[in-house]
A and B are shown apart, each in its own frame.
Chain A
Amino acid sequence: MIRKRPITLTVNGSTYARDIEPRRLLTDFLREDLGLTGTHVGCEHGVCGACTVLLDGNSARACLCLAVQADGRDVTTVEGMGEIGALSLLQEKFRKHHALQCGFCTPGMLATAHEILNDAAPLTDAEIREALSGNLCRCTGYEHIVRAVSEALSERLGGAATGSAPNAG
């Protein structure tokens, strides 16, 4: 039996103390131990971005992170971003622009997009695409995701122009 280690961390504003195996992935810890199944796993090798969460405010791949590495840190998952009836700005924009289909990539997309909004720098659509390029989506073709992030960003910046092209299609 592998010896467990105690960890204490904050997830979505709540503090959790648990004893866990050092090899336990943060994804499994969040999903199975805390029941926060909104964080999804698409590849477990750091490419698809489905597992992206915010770790101390920065986007991070939960599948490449051991839960013990999150000891003492602050994790935000999709469950902490908004709720049904009180969606966040980004969640609202994703809904308005149909930026999700199956919704499997969505929690990770939202985490990356949160970071884009937090950085609060005006971005062109091409720059938004670059910033989202670590998150794969197989359903949307990205078009509506880019529109949603672009509109959220320009609202966050107080309506400043972001170089977003008018809607087409």
Chain B
Amino acid sequence: MQDDARPKLIGSRVQRLEDPRLLTGAGGFVDDIQLAHTLHVALVRSDHAHARILTIDVSAVEALPGVLGVYTADDFSAKPLHATSRMKGYQSTGITALADGKVRYVGEAIAAVVAESRYIAEDAASLITVDYAPLPDLVDPRIAAASNVLLHEHHDSNILVSRKFARGDVAEAFANASVRVKDSFRFHRKTPLAIENRSYLADFNKGKQALTLYSSTQVPGVIRDALAEILAMPGHSVRVVAPDVGGGFGGKASLYPEEILVSLLSRRLGQPVKWTSDRLEDLLTTSQAFDETIDAELAVDKDGRLLGLKAEILGDVGAYSIYPWTAALEPMQVAGFLPGPYQLANYQAEVVAVATNKTPAGPYRGVGRPAAAFVLERLIDMAAKRLDLDPVEMRRRNLVQPHQFPYRTGSGIVWDQSGFTECLELACKGVDYPAFQAERNTARQAGRWFGVGVASYAELTGIGSRMSAAPGMPINTGTETATVEIDASGAVRATFGVASHGQGLETTLAQIVADELGVPVDGVQVIHGDSAAVTHSTGTYASRSAVLAGGAAHLSGQAVRAKVLEAAAFMLEADADDLDIEDGIISERGTNKTLSLAEVGRAVYSEMGRFPLDMRAELDLRATKFYDPEFGTTTSATHIAAVEIDPETFIVTVKRFLVAEDCGRLINPMIVDGQVHGGIVQGIGAALFEEVVHDQNGQALSASLVDYVAPSAAEVPKLEVLHLDTAARGTLGGYRGMGEGGTIGAPAAIANAITDALSHLNINISQLPATPERIYRLVTQAIEGDT
């Protein structure tokens, strides 16, 4: 930014531009869109986890008034789309609109009824009967891994991918260790649970032979490219629009069968076709998270220094590999991030991702890192206890120190630079750690089950082109584009390939553009979530949007500013270097000559004769720039929690929660805080309540919001967030991505706090969520073991 005296929008608590419409019910979510002659889809879904489909009897339905048709896999010839991987031995699975001959999880769609209304479609769907020949339900990944029964017949086994890696001398590290701690950790399955269910509306235009899909997706660009391939249509004839989207958290970051289905149906029927998930369908079919067993062991010297780490990670990835991220995503990221923000040179890990008869697993806020942080932070606390060392002191001794950056971790990930130790100290200061411990001790003496827990973590965000957002994924997502343009009225539009679904990108990106151009923030219209608005896009995931789109916004904003000043300089007969832009008014320093952006816009587009011919070739007020941070940047934080357990109900209450984090320069502190708060509460949910439960036949037992418990306001404490607010070195604007972090640290901090609260019983929390039932069992075992 040229003018440093000007008040900056970047860094201030600008009120969000998207709020007025969302607060008045004037937002536009997919299910709000009502196109004339829309047809509605209801799906017949499998109630078997693993079965061959023998017959589908639709005879009761065909004559029903209002039903336009019933479709099964036989009605479509589109080839399955495979998420491929560069990983050796990776076994891919295909994604199709409807199950073809076989079902692999409860809830998989088998037949689609198309009707004039959703009521009629559901009536009809309930009359369709499916005959199955059951196959063995492979629900336990250990059994599935060894089974001769294959989910996908073309595979060699149900192991979709396995990997081993090692760095340093792990054997020697363990041989030299004073203390070794190990456990078998289990982070159970959860679901992202956006409050808006998935919803898709396809609108095929016969005249143009073009398809528009309105989709509650985080990744309109990815979906566009996939649909173009599946439908065998040119990209310019497929448009995917993500309008207002009601939260994603990773659950809307992959291609879904229903997106393919409504698109195929709309093309076939020549009418708009809509499907909106209900909550049962969401809990059965939206991609799920975690579900790993991690056997890990940590070696530590007598001073508490980490010497080596070994881990075996068994991931239950469900029935299909998600598109485009592949089934390697979650378990491989666990292995990648397990060494954490610590000096830990010797590391070995083995990862096995197994297909089972469950809902496909996919990206979820934090991807792999919540499980990795849970395991390592527990091990560190276990070792600290053995050494009689304070958990904070243990971390202080092991965190990568400021002078050690860039630091290559035991898994090969490079932390460029981040405030690891600074966050730890800030968090301790924030809670007044000695007083905090004293409070815990007083509560303990009074017989209360009260504990405190600390967790530190780091994550890569804003990943550029040198890395893959998902391990082994062949598509690269390392650049982002922005087009900034000023029209003849002087109005500013900024167009991006990202897709906001609650992050407030319409505001934060407008702040950047407005600062660059010198216009009011509400004068910048941000376009996002529309594949047709940009040549190429993917979307919003992996904490990339502020870094990548923010960087592109700076570059294109600067380029347009230069064009404005060039035109204005000519009009004012001034030197461009002497011009400022403030509030949309261009003025020459030291004179009273001014011009408005509207005057420049009008001159450029409607009075171009005012400019010499040789200027006109380049004389539009528009620029498109790409930004590639190459490596990305490191975001880090320390979370501190205090919990109390009711010794009668075994319910855990989070009494206090504080985060100190380094997410670089803050574009809008209010929005950053909101992101952190939301992440923490999803982390609290993951730590205490949220669990997708399957029985031994693969039936989902958590199929309503009564059984799948998400935290409400009453289960959540006041949340405290502190920021380092120092610019990241490696990214334009100094931003780091921060949309996921809250969910990474909170489960680990809470697991440590619960373990602390139960220390009188010598209980280790090695499974999450720590539901009252699990704690009851642990306590009972501990007491019985004593007697």
Contacts and interface: CB of A to CB of B under 8 A. Distances in A.
Interface of A: 1, 21, 23-24, 31-32, 35-45, 47-48, 50, 77-79, 81-85, 87, 91, 94-96, 98, 100-107, 110, 125, 128-130, 132-146, 165, 168-169
B720 A169 contact: yes
B504 interface: yes
Contact of A104 (B65, B247, B676, B716): B247
A141 B677 contact: yes
Contacts of A106: 22-23
A143 B674 CA distance: 8
A100 to B, nearest CB: 6
Contacts of B34: 32, 35, 37
A28 B18 CA distance: 25
Contact of B719 (A103, A132, A141): A141
Given A129-B716, A132-B714, A133-B715, 16 more contacts: A37-B25, A39-B25, A40-B196, A42-B197, A44-B279, A45-B706, A47-B704, A83-B24, A91-B23, A94-B23, A101-B678, A103-B22, A106-B23, A110-B23, A141-B676, A142-B716
Contacts of B681: 140-142
Contacts of A143: 673, 677, 716, 718-719
Contacts of A169: 659, 673, 676-677, 719-722
A37 B22 CA distance: 11
A87 B706 CA distance: 34
A125 B247 contact: no
B673 A104 contact: no
Interface in B654-675: 659, 670-671, 673-675
Interface string B675-687: 1111111100000
B95 interface: no
Contact of B247 (A87, A94, A101): A101
Interface in B14-37: 15-16, 18-29, 31-32, 34
Contacts of A95: 15-16, 19-20, 23
Nearest to A95: B19
14 contacts: A43-B279, A47-B704, A84-B26, A95-B19, A101-B678, A102-B22, A102-B196, A102-B246, A133-B714, A136-B195, A137-B195, A141-B676, A141-B678, A142-B713
B237 interface: no
A133 B27 CA distance: 24
Contacts of A130: 713-714
Given A32-B34, A105-B195, A140-B677, A132 B713 contact: yes
A29 to B, nearest CB: 12
B245 A141 contact: no
Nearest to B722: A169
A125 B502 contact: no
A135 B195 CA distance: 10
Contacts of B21: 84
A98 B705 contact: no
A96 B278 contact: no
Contact of B195 (A1, A50, A81): A50
A103 B23 contact: yes
Interface residues of B, number: 63
Contacts of A40: 29, 195-196, 246
A102 B24 contact: no
The 3 closest A-B pairs by CB, nearest first: A38-B25, A103-B22, A104-B246
Contacts of B23: 78, 82, 87, 91, 94-95, 100, 103, 106, 110
B716 A138 contact: no
A55 to B, nearest CB: 17
A138 B682 contact: yes
Interface string B373-391: 0000000000000000000
B101 to A, nearest CB: 32
B420 interface: no
B244 interface: yes
A47 B24 CA distance: 23
Contacts of A135: 712-713
Contacts of B247: 101-102, 104, 138-139
Q: Which residue, B195, B279, B682, B715, has most C-beta atoms of chain A within 10 A?
A: B195
Q: Which residue, B22, B194, B501, has most C-beta atoms of chain A within 10 A?
A: B22
A32 B33 CA distance: 10
B25 A129 contact: no
A104 B705 CA distance: 17
A168 B720 contact: yes
Contacts of B722: 169
Contacts of A141: 674, 676-682, 716, 719, 742
B710 interface: yes
Interface string B189-207: 0000111110000000000
Given A48-B705, A103-B22, A136 B680 contact: no
A50 B710 CA distance: 14
B12 interface: no
B504 A101 contact: yes
A141 B195 CA distance: 13
Contacts of A50: 195
A79 B25 contact: yes
B20 A87 contact: yes
B214 interface: no
A3 to B, nearest CB: 14
Contacts of A83: 24
Contacts of A105: 195, 246
Contact of B16 (A36, A82, A98, A139): A98
B697 interface: no
B735 interface: no
Q: Which residue, A21, A83, A101, A129, has most C-beta atoms of chain B within 10 A?
A: A101
Contact of A82 (B24, B671, B720): B24
A24 B670 CA distance: 41
Nearest to B23: A91
Q: Which residue, A48, A83, A107, A141, has most C-beta atoms of chain B within 10 A?
A: A141
Contacts of B671: 98
Contacts of B18: 103
A144 B504 CA distance: 15
A139 to B, nearest CB: 5
A42 B681 CA distance: 19
A98 B670 contact: yes
A1 B120 CA distance: 10
Nearest to B65: A1
